[in-house]
Amino acid sequence: MSGKAENTDRSRDEVVEFIASIGDDRQRDETHVLDAMHRRVTGCEPAMWGPSIIGYGSYHYRYDSGREGDWMRAGFSPRKGKFSIYLMGNYCDRRAKADDLFARLGQYKTGKSCLYVTRLERIDLDVLERLVDLSWHIMLEKYPE
């Protein structure tokens, strides 16, 4: 379970600095909650993926077109007014399990592989942790190290 930056001091410092730069106290506190959750689930130290995404672990992908690259296995971004939580696993044969979890999550919206949450108090954090765990394990199966 390697991180993009192989857990260097620099990547840890970048994450710490990024979180400290969040101006809204509530969002900064909730970022710490999401960081702790992702660390528990993934066992990885965080690394910055671009200017505003905190990611955990990495995988290499290659499309049929020949395009390839590296991306995080799990992560989130504290955006203005909401969190984007990246659930990279597409739930394959576990769609029913994911649907059950989403039904119990609380207030949210989704995109292709993003979960959008405005406030953590509006969702069930135990259910969110199970969704992150489900996605993480699917990614490990789909892209073994």
Residue 8 structure tokens: 């260097």
Span 34-55, average pLDDT: 97
Alpha helices, DSSP H, located in 9-93: 9-20, 25-42
Does residue 137 form part of some domain?
Answer: yes
Does residue 89 form part of some domain?
Answer: yes
Q: Work out the mean pLDDT of the chain and round it to a whole number.
A: 89
Cβ atoms of 55 and 1 closer than 8 Å = no
Enclosing domain of residue 29: 9-58+70-142
Does residue 65 form part of some domain?
Answer: no
The domain that contains 125 carries what CATH number? Answer: 3.90.1150.200
Cβ atoms of 52 and 77 closer than 8 Å = yes
| Res. 28: pLDDT tops 80 | yes
Amino acid residing at 131: L
Q: Into how many domains does the chain fold?
A: 1
pTM of the predicted model as reported, rounded to 2 decimal places = 0.89
pLDDT in tens, 110-128: 988 899 999 999 999 999 9
